[in-house]
Amino acid sequence: MALRFSDLLLVCTNAGQRHYGVAKSAFETESIVREPIANNLLAEGNVLSVYDNPIEEKQLKNDDFHEKKYWTKHMSDTKIYDDLYETCLSCERPLVIGGDHSIGQATVLGSLARSAESDEHVYVLWIDAHTDINTYDKSITKNHHGMPLAGVIGLEKPWTNVEPVLLPALLPTSRLLYFGARDIDEFEHHVVKDLNIFHTRDLEIMICKLKQIINTDPAAIFHISWDVDSLDPKYFNSTGVLANDGLKPSELVKLFRWINVNLYVTAMDIVEANWDLGNAEKSKKTFVTIINSMFDDIELEDTFDEKLLI
């Protein structure tokens, strides 16, 4: 089973964008994910909670888990990324619940650092409506949740303030894979094209690419970073930056189930749910359906009816 995690990290931050709800929504997202993870996948691990916003501690009380807490002073304090990087570095296979996607820089750097002294090759599967590869200078919005990968592939210095000697090698762009990207800024288009970064919105092409990697690179391991805005808004619209013509829930379930059987996953992020926005009831129904189905090592039945989620 590939989707087995050692630790569950909760990162309540909206440091990368302006919607506070994405920070406090992390608590509810984690509560949805916790049961299937705890019952099936958490391999004698701990829950480590990395806070950014001063939300009441009582919301996280659970006697079934050991919790370590890291506090930062305010939302713009980059210490949240430093703490998260160090925490990911110490975890064997973390599952990280956000929060906005700016945390992806720290989590990916953590995965790269963990593999630095081994022969493993980390591939990053970025499941997102956006490519999140803007630099600060080129960004239109200046929101950091649209920039995490720029520091990972070397377009700019990472904002994760770790001593340079401790930072892992940069991620080769040949090991960055996009699935579901469709709302892409002009600068990002040029980066993806010029650096020949793999991207597709087609499930079969995505799985074919993953098969090619594991068949040609026996040292391949995978960091999965899933932004819920990858879903089509007609199924999920409780997120800050909507983009039409997105992925169907069944496509994500099929992908995750295939991954669960075939890949070694070294870390996974689930980010950008904001239950204050959109139709939260509909979005939660979609999210719960995916979470409760994604870890099965069976094919998705043909009877899965997307219309039930609209």
Q: Is the peptide bond prior to 146 cis by the omega test (within 30 degrees of 0)?
A: no
* Residue numbers of the domain that contains 234: 5-309
End-to-end CA distance of the chain: 31
* Placement of tokens 């959109």 in the chain: 278
Positions in the chain short of pLDDT 50: 53-76, 302-303
Q: Are 20 and 57 in contact (CB under 8 A)?
A: no
pLDDT of residue 40: 55
Number of domains in the chain: 1
φ, ψ (nearest 5 deg) of residue 119: -95, 10
Q: How many CB atoms lie within 10 A of CB 24?
A: 16
Report the Cα 149 to chain-centroid distance in Å. Answer: 12
The two structure tokens encoding residue 245: 């013509």
φ, ψ (nearest 5 deg) of residue 4: -115, 125
Query: Which CATH number does the domain housing residue 261 bear?
Result: 3.40.800.10
Q: What percent of the chain has pLDDT over 90?
A: 48
At residue 195, the 3 state secondary structure works out as: coil
pLDDT of residue 65: 34
